[in-house]
Amino acid sequence: MDYDIVEVKADGTALDLLIWRRHKRPMPGLMEAALDANPGLAAHGPLLPVGTMVRLPRPQPSAAAPTVVRLWD
């Protein structure tokens, strides 16, 4: 799995906020994968200290296209 290294640059930043800022969409399972890739990260608590380097896994492209529901067809 490929990773991006992201530095926490502001007070009050949580891991889920880092993921949201990086991908701009919900990423199911990415928080758990990030915690697995960063042993000891959870020991910092819910808010990460400024200067913390975090390895964020790059999401794998999905093979299946999402199903589009059309209400008025």
pLDDT band at 63 (very low <50, low <70, confident <90, very high): low
pLDDT band at 38 (very low <50, low <70, confident <90, very high): very high
Distance of CA 53 to the CA centre of its chain: 13
Average pLDDT of the residues in 1-5: 87
Average pLDDT of the residues in 59-72: 80
pLDDT at residue 17 is higher than 80: yes
Average pLDDT of the residues in 34-60: 93
Average pLDDT of the residues in 16-28: 91
Spatial CB neighbours of 30, under 8 Å, sequence gap ≥ 6: 19, 23, 56, 57, 59
pTM: 0.75
